[in-house]
Structure 1
């Protein structure tokens, strides 16, 4: 049977309504069905499905997607047309009608990856002395054998020649990037003494990530397969093939940074997580996810790099109309947070440590940084809500924030590229600028005078017209001084800024006390830690309850 006849035979046997119902909720509309279109941001149901004709069509402005059941699967899952036909053939119970797989020339690579992955799994799960440390590491991390088997985790032994000695085709192993040729002309293993995580695209293993069990500082903690025509880190999501079903069903994804994060969350019942492997998250991965989800929870590591990663991921997904929630647990990553079952509380993480994209960008990068992030958001309704939220957080007037946002949107067209980090002001800079604009707005007590340092305190106390003109020489400062003219409530703005300063300095004090406690063992530092943490919690509770009297100035430092 020719390919055209096979295709017609498959499509004739398929009920397009049953197919699309697996992906979208459909409601009856006369003889047809309708739903919100998954291929663009759709507020009203624009997608029409005709069971009589066996086709779908989106009538939304600027979309126009349409076709048969195979076209729908092709677009929704971002797969080639022939793969969509293969799925439909299986669905109707006629796999014999499925077209032959298109040949990409990578079959030998995928085959060797499967063989090597099985070897890595075999060495991990057999009671071999070679993998004893790997099994112990997984137990210490509280990764169960059931979870390790489900995600096909393996182990590459602590030898440079283990894989090269496995009687496999060395040319193909080398082409797959699993072994390397040394300058001396010998072959050596690419992965050595590492827990191995395979990356899949459907049933094919595209490549691997290895987490070292070594302790040498020069060894990278995580080692990925090298980029190639078949393995591109920026478009692959770890765990997608295993958790895809839960993600599509819930229309929600949890995005983390590391493979162990995915495993730990899975064990705690969060089965819709994927990992972006550090900083490797690009527009292609965002596009794949946005077709299957309405909401994303971003749970990166609780450090500066993790915060930046969260905002970068959020920005890419916001461009595609995805609702966002960011969990930020300072000093911890998801692996640590989920390690102990009795301590893990997913609801608490999504409330106590949860941020919107706007509030997190504002906290991390200030009002200018938040505006820069929002400049890439195209949904006008969501953008208006975001501007309103930023106005409440920053005390700046909405209409001026909207005006400045338009300026940021024009920025990419200029010769100078503006980054969020370039725009961010330090706390001492913000205090000096506020005092320059309004001399009485910044009242310092002895604690802040000590922490801010003599130079900053002198500038704050100097405040006046001359200081404004001096500061305005810096374009970044000039922008903020101009913005200060449009603060809705200067007293609230000043109070919030001072609160931020107290929390920042108190947190640094706690970190320093912990170091001194470890170095000296002196119990007085433990007492100070307890006192300072109580102060921090009191301030945070005041912020949460909106009680100005519980702010920093009511606490005796």
Structure 2
């Protein structure tokens, strides 16, 4: 994969003005030092979306979205990091000269570009035939009109028609100057070989006499086609899709995502249907946040694609019981991907397309609202009805539901689902938890805790969540890491016991708060001078000495700040907000943004309120004292716990002496912080 040189990335980030970029999408108004607007990522009536020009970042205090200028483009466009950089480069006139490719790489890139070009040409060719040719109008267009589709929908999705001829597309493409090999590589034409695999020279169109549904990637480029035959006696498949190619990978694509992505983000949910016409009819009916799996089983790549835009998926089923059963496995994958899944059923004999045409847009929306049900409850009710009178089937049904619950990464949701399942089946919750833990243990404990009993369904601590196993990197993420000169594991969450296989001890909330405050002060005030002309960063790093932070994300950010200092630079929000790791970007945004500002009227009325900048020495001293006090209390708790274990007299005396000293230190630190009142007299 060709990479954008680091120097070009730096130039893009230097020129990109976050106020200008955000202002292209929302109307910003200044209030104090920051700019404010209603959030473009969720519906709200009063502005909670803030842009800080001086820090180069944005944050919504409603939905929590935050980051720098690149992250904003990624969020608003649903694009990758590389795509966002290219967007900004185009906006600010920066020429991207990708690092020189090898001849083989250049040839492969040219080959893919040619496939995109010929696919786009074919899409235009089919669309023109639908609207202008006699056959296209009388057969293709009349069919689409019969299905209730209007001209705007046909234009939006660039629908087309392929003539019922062996080589119409082939002849037109060659006349337009396109090479046969690209028509074959994209699957638009087929090469006929003899029994020995030799080229006979015969070539013909793959799609003939069919309504054409162009398939787009998220950038809007045509990558393939779905095609429906209109012949009543046609013995071939009703629907025919483009074969896999260099530009079309069926498992990575959802039909309609290009047209739906903005609506999915705005509505904060994605409706998932099965067919092309389901998407078209719902989109035309005003439900634009809809995509289709195109009749194939859902894949992890498709689920990750949805997750770029929303955490909420509603699957729309027709009333066919066999079809529902066949789809359950795919929904388990959605659960495993961490998304919230709901289900809506339609009456027997109806699918989303037929139902919205039958009842109209308004009643269809009402049906979605009134019949939406979370997936675990839906599946529990479904299997419970099927096994109601058979104890053996009932036991199998319970295990089936528990396997779906085990796919849910969120421990609190698992607990709720276990309670619901207990009520539906009329079985003791503790029995379910025991059986659940057996399933998890036999499966290797991919998502859930390993302990047995009620604790199995309890939420993990924040430190445990942040120490989750690193997922594999995509090629784009590896490229992003390389752009910053980082190793490819730079995106993976760092853990204290990487590779050891040992359980990470939960980090108490109070210690996390202490570590967070140290990092915040260094990030925001690193170069500010304290007493004796020592900077905030120098003072705090000196006080920390070799202390190791136990919260992984704070340890990582502290390390980044220290690295910046070692390289002769102050830690800077504008730099770190562009870091390759999303969790680092989020943390920097959280630490660097404030929801409230002092009104300038306070100064006008001579009301003086001390700013943190005026009290930095005190803030740094208190942060260090609190961290030290927390460390002492943790050690004290460890020593007190040791007293419960058998030990010889020498160890007992040593432990008691240590406890005494630790208590003295704890009291001294409390006195310095003002949290301990000294005894009088």
Question: Match for residue 229 of structure 1?
Answer: 246
Paired residues for 1:166-185 under 5 Å: 166-168=172-174, 169-183=179-193, 185=200
Q: Which of 370, 375, 389 is 1:357 aligned to?
A: 375
Using the size of structure 1 for normalisation, the TM-score is: 0.63
Partners of 2:35 and 2:431 in 1: how far apart? 44
Partners of 1:411 and 1:228 in 2: how far apart? 39
Matched, 1:86 2:104: no
Q: How far apart are residue 249 of structure 1 and its match? A: 1.7
Partners of 1:210 and 1:381 in 2: how far apart? 44
Question: Match for residue 414 of structure 2?
Answer: 383
Matched, 1:126 2:132: yes
Matched, 1:264 2:281: yes
Q: Which of 193, 197, 201 is 2:213 aligned to?
A: 197
Task: Look up the SS of the partner of 2:170 in the other structure.
Answer: coil
Q: How far apart are residue 73 of structure 1 and its match? A: 4.3
Label 1:410 to 1:21 Cα distance change in 2 as closer, same or farther (>3 A): farther
Which sections of structure 1, spanning at least 5 residues, go unmatched? 35-46, 58-64, 415-557
Task: Look up the SS of the partner of 1:165 in the other structure.
Answer: helix
Q: Which of 365, 368, 383 is 2:399 aligned to?
A: 368
Partners of 1:131 and 1:384 in 2: how far apart? 57
Task: Look up the SS of the partner of 1:387 in the other structure.
Answer: helix
Question: Match for residue 404 of structure 1?
Answer: 435
* Contact 1:296–1:322 (Cα < 8 Å) also in 2: yes
391-400 or 264-273: bigger deviation? 391-400
Deviation per CA, 1:284-322: give whole Å up to 9, x if none: 111121131132211133324531455334322322332
Matched, 1:13 2:10: no
Deviation per CA, 1:432-485: give whole Å up to 9, x if none: xxxxxxxxxxxxxxxxxxxxxxxxxxxxxxxxxxxxxxxxxxxxxxxxxxxxxx
Label 1:214 to 1:299 Cα distance change in 2 as closer, same or farther (>3 A): same
Partners of 2:442 and 2:367 in 1: how far apart? 36
* Contact 1:33–1:48 (Cα < 8 Å) also in 2: yes
Task: Give me the CA root mean square deviation.
Answer: 3.8
For these two proteins, the number of residue pairs brought into alignment is: 395
Partners of 1:101 and 1:147 in 2: how far apart? 38
* Contact 1:300–1:309 (Cα < 8 Å) also in 2: no
Label 1:141 to 1:130 Cα distance change in 2 as closer, same or farther (>3 A): closer
Label 1:259 to 1:101 Cα distance change in 2 as closer, same or farther (>3 A): farther
Question: Match for residue 393 of structure 1?
Answer: 424
Partners of 1:303 and 1:209 in 2: how far apart? 24
Q: Which of 157, 163, 181 is 2:163 aligned to?
A: 157
* Contact 2:315–2:343 (Cα < 8 Å) also in 1: yes
Paired residues for 1:26-175 under 5 Å: 51-54=53-56, 68-70=68-70, 73=73, 79-90=79-90, 93-94=91-92, 96-99=93-96, 104-105=109-110, 106-168=112-174, 169-175=179-185
Label 1:234 to 1:17 Cα distance change in 2 as closer, same or farther (>3 A): farther
Question: Match for residue 187 of structure 1?
Answer: 203
Q: How far apart are residue 343 of structure 1 and its match? A: 7.3
Q: Which of 352, 355, 361 is 1:337 aligned to?
A: 355
Partners of 1:343 and 1:289 in 2: how far apart? 24
Task: Look up the SS of the partner of 2:317 in the other structure.
Answer: coil
110-119 or 301-310: bigger deviation? 301-310
Matched, 1:247 2:264: yes
Q: Which of 287, 290, 293 is 1:273 aligned to?
A: 290
Using the size of structure 2 for normalisation, the TM-score is: 0.52
Task: Look up the SS of the partner of 1:108 in the other structure.
Answer: helix
Which sections of structure 2, spanning at least 5 residues, go unmatched? 37-48, 60-64, 100-105, 195-199, 384-396, 446-681
Partners of 2:416 and 2:50 in 1: how far apart? 30
Q: How far apart are residue 344 of structure 1 and its match? A: 5.7
Partners of 1:18 and 1:346 in 2: how far apart? 40
Paired residues for 1:469-484 under 5 Å: none
Partners of 1:353 and 1:67 in 2: how far apart? 37
337-346 or 112-121: bigger deviation? 337-346
Q: How far apart are residue 134 of structure 1 and its match? A: 1.2
344-353 or 288-297: bigger deviation? 344-353
* Contact 1:262–1:274 (Cα < 8 Å) also in 2: yes
Label 1:203 to 1:295 Cα distance change in 2 as closer, same or farther (>3 A): closer
Label 1:286 to 1:352 Cα distance change in 2 as closer, same or farther (>3 A): same
Question: Match for residue 628 of structure 2?
Answer: none
* Contact 1:361–1:369 (Cα < 8 Å) also in 2: no
Partners of 2:34 and 2:168 in 1: how far apart? 61
Partners of 1:220 and 1:145 in 2: how far apart? 27
Label 1:86 to 1:345 Cα distance change in 2 as closer, same or farther (>3 A): same
Deviation per CA, 1:187-246: give whole Å up to 9, x if none: 011112211111112132111111121234641121111112321111101111112111
Deviation per CA, 1:42-92: give whole Å up to 9, x if none: xxxxx99975443689xxxxxxx99853256458867554421122245xx
Q: Which of 285, 308, 326 is 1:291 aligned to?
A: 308
Q: How far apart are residue 131 of structure 1 and its match? A: 4.4
Partners of 1:148 and 1:271 in 2: how far apart? 14
Question: Match for residue 435 of structure 1?
Answer: none
Q: How far apart are residue 257 of structure 1 and its match? A: 0.7
